[in-house]
Amino acid sequence: MNNLQNKSALITGASSGIGKAMALSLCQKGCELYLVARREDRLKQVQEEILALNPQSKVHLIASDVNATDLSKKIAQTSNEKIDILINNAGLALGREKVEASKLADWDAMISTNITANFKLVHLVLPWMLKNGAGDIINLCSVAGHYTYSGGAVYCATKHAIKAFTRVLREETCGKNIRVMQISPGMVDTEFSSVRFKGDMKSADAVYANMTPLHGEDIARMMTFMLEQPRHVVIDEIITMPTDQGSPTTISRKST
């Protein structure tokens, strides 16, 4: 198995959900963590939980939006340009309106966060990985990168873009000891839906009503499995959904 002890891992969107769960998972594997998220108070809470699990953990907090122009500089300075693992997790969906009724500001936010920021982080750390002779990149995609659904045009488009970018990156880094992987979850009970519905908790809670969704810990467990495979093994992609989900729009809900 690939030993993660003392590997440096950069995780975006690390203050909650999948990012937080991955930070907690990798701290127990002995990784040095570089955690990026907008909410500094939440990052500090994650740091406290990490140190409670593993008091020897090295945790570096970078309180920043992934779209911030100075993020690359902060990461380079904090990490001394050495990142072994990139978990490109930050992303969001906004709204469920059809194209003609959707808001251009929501489009811009999804494109900049899900596509541009994701790609820029790879552009930042990949040269460091190539210089060091090894590296692992996991891009968080979605079943929306494989299927489409009404009311999700731009979100689905961003996830299709991530899938295409990841595939090309696999080709370009082949033979260079860089493992490029992606995971494409279905319904995961995180802050995703509350963000999508802009704080409308009634709508957000209805997404997961009367069914059992995945949780951040489920996705973190799978990503850790991907990273721990021997270096000659690449788990190219994991597509995962809850048992109660058959497709983005096919959900089995228990009667109340």
The catalytic site residues sit at 155, 159
Q: What sign does the dihedral 70-119-64-95 (CA atoms) show?
A: positive
| CB-count exposure of residue 122 (10 Å: 0-12, 13-18, 19+) | middle
CA–CA distances in Å: residue 165 to residues 3, 154, 208: 27, 16, 30
Q: What is the DSSP string of 171-237?
A: HHHTTTTEEEEEEEES-B-SSHHHHHTTT-HHHHHHHTTTS--B-HHHHHHHHHHHHHS-TT----E
